[in-house]
């Protein structure tokens, strides 16, 4: 869909003669009938109207859980017993020659995990003791061990993961999805963003922005404390009837401009004013987790009035129940360099995972109990991986940490038509390189769109003279992980 192109179509001679009430035939007819020949009013297109997918979808919605800073995959999912044996030995030259690292130079020492690993579920997947609650949902999860990216700094790596490009300016994944499918609930945004740990994503609003798509498709950031959406409440002295009256006047002015100029941002303005008005009643209700039964709150570890990842996981389920298409959760604090106890892969990782694996495991179980997991795609990951050796700056300290590492890392998916209990892809015995089924972000993006019934090569928009898509010129659907 291209709103500007649709407007220009109606400026051609053929459309003028065929459709316009001000066309030649209409002018003559109006003259015979003694009526003025005026252009026919046309209702502006609703850019968030529900749209049909390209083919039958297995998933209706997505919950994307981003661990900002990137968790140490070797200490959670990817067990390397050979690396453990070689802990403290210099990294082999053949593994590090010609590579750049964010904070490490020279020849670093190998670092095997200090965590205890065991196999779990019927699929026998390896999980460490850092994520004890994941052990019970292992058969719902497909862990991809062979992720690869070409970015080793946080912001560009995160922006690449969600926009398909390492620099700001392109639409995010959630924006592409709402652009392609619209929204199922006209009283709520189609794309909602929830942020915990008090820090914005490394990519800033670029990670959930609309880029060159109309801004109606950008993620709406909601808060679990205070007003759910900033500035959506009526100002002091304005009641709901007065707000409705003022919005009606603004709508009439904007519709006149939309009919004259056809600019997509005018349509966005109309829809955002109306959505904000409806959200004043719908959002506070859906964001009020105090209405949940006590056993549900306890299973997530959620506390009404807080701003935790646990609260946001429960909110994600409530939003999906109400038809929100894409819910993106960002949780800061996963940059485990070992510069202090909180960033150590020992107790620091234990403490951080305790805020994460319980609510996410509860989310999986809750969705399954409600028969929603089958058509809700959950994705978990960071922007890159962590090194199989000690971070250079902290190599002599008491806290074990790892540097940024783009060559291989792990993410996982669950529900939404994805095979559970599956380990996909492999890395070498020391965790330096992918040796089987390499996966890049474009492949993940293509697979997510595919599960929603969207062909990543057909979901395009024209900008500055050429067609763009989320996956650019790349991307393959990971058919082996689809149930």
Q: Which domains does the chain have, with CATH numbers?
A: 3-33 (no CATH), 61-228+287-481 (3.40.720)
Q: For residues 38 and 466, which has the higher predicted lDDT (pLDDT)?
A: 466
Q: For residues 246 and 136, which has the higher predicted lDDT (pLDDT)?
A: 136
Residue 246, Cα to own-chain centre: how many angstroms? 35
What does the pLDDT average to over 164-174?
Answer: 97
Each residue's pLDDT tens digit, 443-460: 999 999 999 999 999 999
Please provide the average confidence, as pLDDT, over all residues in the chain.
88
Check whether 194 has a pLDDT greater than 50: yes
Q: For residues 410 and 30, which has the higher predicted lDDT (pLDDT)?
A: 410
* Per-residue three-class SS string for 61-119: EEEEEEEECCCCHHHCCCCCHHHHHCCCCECCHHHHCCCCCCCCCCCCEECCCCCCEEE
Q: DSSP of 308-326, one letter per residue?
A: -HHHHHHHHHHHHHTT-SE
Each residue's pLDDT tens digit, 212-263: 998 889 999 987 666 666 556 666 766 666 666 666 677 777 777 777 776 6
Helix ranges, 355-454 (H): 357-369, 441-451
Strands 376-381 and 61-68: parallel
Mean pLDDT lowest for which of 47-51, 118-122, 334-338, 342-346?
A: 47-51
Mean pLDDT lowest for which of 11-15, 118-122, 438-442?
A: 11-15
- Residue 188 confidence class, pLDDT cut points 50, 70, 90: confident
How many of the other CB atoms lie within 10 Å of CB of 340?
A: 12
Q: DSSP of 229-296, one letter per residue?
A: STT-SPPTT--HHHHHHHHHHHHHHHHHHHHHH--HHHHHHHHHHHHHHHHHHHHHHHT-GGGS-HHH
How many of the other CB atoms lie within 10 Å of CB of 413?
A: 30
- Please work out, in degrees rounded to the nearest 5, the angle formed at the alpha carbon of residue 79 by the alpha carbons of 73 and 81: 135
Its pTM stands at 0.86
pLDDT of the residue at 233: 63
Mean pLDDT lowest for which of 257-261, 342-346, 351-355, 436-440?
A: 257-261
Check whether 1 has a pLDDT greater than 70: no
Element housing 147 (H / E): strand 141-148
CA dist., res. 76 & res. 431, Å (int): 13
CA dist., res. 238 & res. 236, Å (int): 6
What does the pLDDT average to over 168-194?
Answer: 94
CA dist., res. 195 & res. 239, Å (int): 30
């Amino acid at each position: 869909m291209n709103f500007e192109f649709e407007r220009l179509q109606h400026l051609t001679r053929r459309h003028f003669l065929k459709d316009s009430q001000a066309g030649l035939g209409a002018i003559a007819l109006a003259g015979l009938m003694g009526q003025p020949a005026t252009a026919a009013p046309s209702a502006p297109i609703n850019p968030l109207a529900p749209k049909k997918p390209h083919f039958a979808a297995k998933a209706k919605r997505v919950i994307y859980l981003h661990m900002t800073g990137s968790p140490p995959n070797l200490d959670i999912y990817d067990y390397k017993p050979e690396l453990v044996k070689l802990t403290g030995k210099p990294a082999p030259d053949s593994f590090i020659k010609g590579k750049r690292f964010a904070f490490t130079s020279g020849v670093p020492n190998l670092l095997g995990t200090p965590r205890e690993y065991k196999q779990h579920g019927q699929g026998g997947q390896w999980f460490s003791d850092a994520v004890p609650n994941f052990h019970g949902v292992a058969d719902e999860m497909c862990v991809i061990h062979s992720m690869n990216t070409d970015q080793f700094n946080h912001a560009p790596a995160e922006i690449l993961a969600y926009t398909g490009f390492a620099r700001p300016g392109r639409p995010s994944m959630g924006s592409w999805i709402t652009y392609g499918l619209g929204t199922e609930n006209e009283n709520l945004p189609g794309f909602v963003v929830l942020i915990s740990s008090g820090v914005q994503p490394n990519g800033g609003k670029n990670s959930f922005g609309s880029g060159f798509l109309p801004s109606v498709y950008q993620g709406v950031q909601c808060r679990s404390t205070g007003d759910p959406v900033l500035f959506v409440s009526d100002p002091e002295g304005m009641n709901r009837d007065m707000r409705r009256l003022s919005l009606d006047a603004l709508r009439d002015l904007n519709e006149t401009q939309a009919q004259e100029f056809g600019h997509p941002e005018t349509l966005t303005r109309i829809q955002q004013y109306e959505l904000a008005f409806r959200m004043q009643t719908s959002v506070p209700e859906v964001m009020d987790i105090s209405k949940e039964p006590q056993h549900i709150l306890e299973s997530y570890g959620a506390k009404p009035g807080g701003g935790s990842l646990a609260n946001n996981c429960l909110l994600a389920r409530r939003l999906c129940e109400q038809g929100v298409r894409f819910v993106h959760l960002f949780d800061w604090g996963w940059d485990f360099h070992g510069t202090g106890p909180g960033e150590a892969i020992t107790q620091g990782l234990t403490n951080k995972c305790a805020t994460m694996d319980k609510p996410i495991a509860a989310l999986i179980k809750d969705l399954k109990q409600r028969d929603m997991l089958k058509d809700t795609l959950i994705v978990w990951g960071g922007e890159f991986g962590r090194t199989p050796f000690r971070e250079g700056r902290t190599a002599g300290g008491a806290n074990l940490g790892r540097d940024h590492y783009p060559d291989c890392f792990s993410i996982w998916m669950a529900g939404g038509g994805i095979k559970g209990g599956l380990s996909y892809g492999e890395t070498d015995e020391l965790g330096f390189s992918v040796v089987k089924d390499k996966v890049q972000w474009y492949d993940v993006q293509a697979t997510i769109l595919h599960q929603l019934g969207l062909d990543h090569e057909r979901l395009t928009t024209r900008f500055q003279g050429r067609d763009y898509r989320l996956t650019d010129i790349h991307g393959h659907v990971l058919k082996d992980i689809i149930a």
